[in-house]
């Protein structure tokens, strides 16, 4: 557990929390929006708000924490053995806290006549169908992020944009059905504030299972790694060599961090 003693570890956790506050504030502000908006226009606005927010924040904090901003992505990366279990746990806690704080801010500044807070709800579909939609949409997202995280590739500054495009695509495809969770923390924040937990399990089970499946598909089927099992478990157990300047791999090329 040596990494927990590093200031870089806590900076990364703080970055995930702060990034999530900003991400949720921007996304939910667009989702609450003007109740007179036409639905198709509103869906496009929300999709681009979430996608552009992710791309912007990936540029801002990618070199600090990796800009996961999603427990499903964190789970996918820990399944890929790109980060320790301890760091993954703290990231997820920070993401959930940030989502609640961001949701509370939006709830506090919304118009008095508007009771909406962008709570994810199933729209005339069954929970099983909702699970399938959330699974598939998160699968493409985590596959994208795990591929961006592959050190064998030279992604460069394109990574934040690709991440944002993937989030935007998920929202364009899924808003009409599930409100597009693809991020358990994003679903958790407004649900806590509004105490609205109808079919809430869908927004955890679908994305989290997709995170694991996407990581396994990429690392063992699509692009197997030459790393030994021992090397991978050393990372999971915080036994990899640590440096004060080290950050998690996701999107670290954005800041040219070595």
Estimate to the nearest angstrom the gap between the alpha carbon of 59 and the chain centroid. 14
Alpha helix (H) residue ranges in 62-197: 71-79, 85-109, 127-148, 159-178, 184-194
Instruction: Encode pLDDT of 198-254 as tens digits.
Output: 999 999 999 999 999 999 999 999 988 776 666 666 666 665 444 444 444 455 443
Instruction: Encode pLDDT of 21-76 as tens digits.
Output: 999 999 999 988 755 444 556 789 999 999 999 999 999 999 999 999 999 999 99
The count of C-alpha atoms lying within 13 angstroms of the C-alpha of 127, restricted to the half-sphere facing its C-beta, is 9
Q: Is residue 253 part of a domain?
A: no
Find where tokens 């999709």 sit: 47
Tokens representing residue 106 in the block: 């939006």
Estimate to the nearest angstrom the gap between the alpha carbon of 217 and the chain centroid. 19
- Of 148 and 245, the structure prediction assigns the larger pLDDT to 148
* Per-residue DSSP letter, 181: -
The count of C-alpha atoms lying within 13 angstroms of the C-alpha of 226, restricted to the half-sphere facing its C-beta, is 2
Maximum average pLDDT range among 1-10, 38-47, 87-96: 87-96
Report which of 218, 148, 140 is spatially closest to residue 180, judged by C-alpha positions.
140
Maximum average pLDDT range among 89-93, 156-160, 222-226: 89-93
235 vs 251: CA distance, rounded Å: 18
83 vs 215: CA distance, rounded Å: 13
**DSSP 3-state of 155:** coil
Span 4-17, mean pLDDT?
Answer: 94
Instruction: Encode pLDDT of 162-209 as tens digits.
Output: 999 999 999 999 999 999 999 999 999 999 999 999 999 999 999 999
**Do residues 120 and 180 lie in contact, with contact meaning Cβ atoms separated by under 8 Å?**
yes
pLDDT at 246: 46
pLDDT at 235: 62
72 vs 206: CA distance, rounded Å: 9
Q: Is residue 255 part of a domain?
A: no
Q: Is residue 155 part of a domain?
A: yes
pLDDT at 200: 97
Angle at 193 between CA 192 and CA 197, to 5 degrees: 40
**Do residues 24 and 106 lie in contact, with contact meaning Cβ atoms separated by under 8 Å?**
yes
Q: What is the CATH number of the domain that holds 186?
A: 1.20.1080.10
pLDDT at 194: 93
Domains identified in the chain, total number = 1
* Per-residue DSSP letter, 67: -
Range of the domain at 22: 3-33+41-237
Q: Is residue 27 part of a domain?
A: yes
Q: Is residue 112 part of a domain?
A: yes
């Amino acid at each position: 557990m040596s990494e927990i003693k590093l200031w870089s570890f806590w900076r990364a956790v703080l970055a995930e929390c702060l990034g999530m506050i900003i991400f949720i504030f921007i996304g939910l502000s667009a989702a609450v929006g003007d109740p007179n908006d036409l639905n198709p226009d509103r869906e496009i606005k929300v999709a681009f708000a979430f996608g552009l927010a992710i791309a912007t924040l990936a540029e801002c904090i990618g070199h600090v924490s990796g800009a996961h901003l999603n427990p499903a992505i964190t789970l996918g990366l820990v399944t890929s053995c790109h980060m320790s279990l301890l760091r993954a746990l703290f990231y997820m806690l920070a993401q959930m806290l940030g989502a609640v704080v961001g949701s509370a801010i939006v709830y506090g500044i919304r118009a008095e006549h508007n009771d909406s807070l962008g709570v994810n709800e199933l729209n005339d579909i069954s929970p099983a169908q909702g699970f399938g939609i959330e699974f598939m949409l998160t699968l493409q997202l985590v596959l994208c992020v795990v591929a961006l995280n592959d050190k064998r590739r030279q992604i460069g500054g394109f990574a934040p944009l690709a991440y944002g495009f993937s989030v935007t695509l998920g929202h364009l495809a899924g808003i009409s059905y599930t409100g597009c969770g693809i991020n358990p923390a994003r679903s958790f924040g407004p649900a806590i504030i509004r105490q609205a937990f109808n079919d809430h399990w869908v927004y955890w089970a679908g994305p989290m299972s997709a995170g694991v499946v996407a990581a396994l598909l990429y690392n063992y089927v699509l692009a197997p790694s030459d790393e030994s099992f021992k090397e991978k478990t050393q990372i999971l157990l915080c036994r990899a060599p640590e440096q004060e300047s080290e950050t998690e791999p996701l999107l670290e090329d954005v800041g040219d961090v070595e």
